[in-house]
A = this chain, B = another copy of it.
């Protein structure tokens, strides 16, 4: 990626997260970057390209940090803790991109939205498989793993609304507290075996 394109993406992230995708014009972007509107088109074809680039990069970043856990030897409870901490870390380090991701992805054109949805599903599947591993090995009690995966991701995702980097706890510390609570809630009764 060229430096110029990286700058354009960063400015788009800022504007889309502040004003929303629809309310940001190419003219706004050009002004934020100190460029002529026309010269933006040397780097991208449309505003929607920018939205897709931001959202797709976000989806890839989530997958990049979580995929190694799918094949990890960690016990399922520790894998779940690690997954939630990594997830929270991605949200917290990309608060503006997360806002664009969660608010604006629905405005992608159909094919692109479907591609992002597939990545989101793959991501949720990694979490669900950790939970299923936990049930299979008797670490977690039998339960609806699709719903517990939603709960784990709800906890991590909602951070984008309230987490502030200047607060007293890092996102990973918050996620660790959440994880302890969720793991205790999922844990099989003492002595439970597969």
Binding site for B on A (CB under 8 A): 19-23, 102-103, 143-144, 147-148, 150-151, 153-155, 157-159, 161-162, 174, 177-178, 180-187
Contact = CB atoms under 8 A, between A and B. Distances in A.
Given A158-B157, A158-B158, A148 B20 contact: no
Given A23-B22, A154-B155, A186-B181, A174 B147 contact: yes
Contact of A183 (B147, B157, B185): B185
Number of copies of chain A assembled together? 2
Main secondary structure of the interface of A (DSSP, over half): helix
A145 to B, nearest CB: 11
Contacts of A20: 20-23, 103
A183 B143 CA distance: 14
Given A20-B20, A155-B155, 7 more contacts: A143-B181, A147-B177, A150-B174, A154-B157, A157-B158, A158-B158, A181-B185
A71 B157 CA distance: 31
